[in-house]
Amino acid sequence: MSKQNVAIVGATGAVGTEFLRVLSKRKFPINQLKLFAHESEAGTKITYEGESLVVEAIKDDSFKGVDIALFSAGGGVSQELAPLAVKSGAIVVDNSSAFRMDEDVPLVVPEVNPEDIKKHKGIIANPNCSTIIMVVVLNPIHKLSRIKRVVASTYQAVSGGGALAMAECIEQAKQYLAGEKVRVERFAHQIAFNLIPHIDVFQENGYTKEEMKMVLETRKILHDPEMRIAATTVRVPVLRSHSESLNIETERPLSVEEIRTALAKAPGVIVEDDPANKIYPMPLFRAERDDVSVGRIRKDLSCENGINLWVSGDQILKGAALNAVQIAEHLI
């Protein structure tokens, strides 16, 4: 692979930091690396492979000479700066929701629809973290028999709300156990020793924006606008890695063994499915792991062509930074 001039927008955030780890781990061929963040963090020094790099604020000519720009700085920032990067000649891989449903922007999970990368016009969108974790597992089943219907329930780690949300969860646990008043700032309610069935804002249809992302993005990635999908997204007091309970209905009956075999061969998927020996996916053991783990594979007793799965994956890695870097690897 030829060496690339790479820029990271949002370099000081959780995903930006993970970008750097993933680029280094996967030995991404970098000629020059530029780091950008909010002007309040300009001047911050970050070490990458032994070299001290200075974080810069973005100017009109910041993307000059950049080949690939990895964005993780929020939808508003992406809408403002991604076109600027493209105009300068860079290809943008954007982690925000700003362009995901744009017809001219590919929405890509490399294990699922890498061919869509070629359709880009300068911007490629990284899907929502819960969507990525789900479609990596849905795709091999969808290839066996079209999936007609999916009911997804997520159990999403507090790190989805950022580093401050993780710190608040830990602090709340200390406060609660000490009998002190629990302070709530980052979430709608106390998250320590609790579950909150509310991620992002509620829509007119009663679903949250996070839930509708899973519906609309999955249809786009799998090129199946008729797939029926319903989601309930729940914040849980886990620090890192999301989990999902998936109920799937296929057009033709599939055996558990047929599904297990397809998943075992699928890229980016690890099958952990031995309940007799207490082996199944758990977020504690998915943290900082690249693959999505699937287990509890069983027939749905309420539906003739139904199957139930339990899935877990690191939403900062495969759900964000790793997926974006994999897209960049396909680009070159």
d(Cα 156, Cα 164) in Å, to the nearest integer? 16
Structure tokens at 142: 């969808």
Beta strand 242-250 pairing with 228-235: unpaired
The count of C-alpha atoms lying within 13 angstroms of the C-alpha of 25, restricted to the half-sphere facing its C-beta, is 14
d(Cα 77, Cα 174) in Å, to the nearest integer? 35
- 140-166 per-residue burial string, b: 16 or more CB within 10 A, e: under 16: bbbebbebeebbbebbbbbbbbeeebb
- Rg over alpha carbons for the chain, rounded to the nearest Å, is 20
One-letter amino acid at 156 equals: Q
The catalytic residue among 120, 129, 142, 169 is 129
Beta strand 242-250 pairing with 306-313: antiparallel
Please give the span between the terminal C-alpha atoms of the chain, in angstroms, as a whole number: 6
Residue identified by tokens 């999301």 is 242
> What sign does the CA torsion over 88, 91, 95, 99 have?
positive
Q: Is residue 242 annotated as part of the catalytic site, yes or no? A: yes
Q: Is residue 129 annotated as part of the catalytic site, yes or no? A: yes
The catalytic residue among 120, 142, 169, 242 is 242
- Which residues have a catalytic role annotated? 129, 242
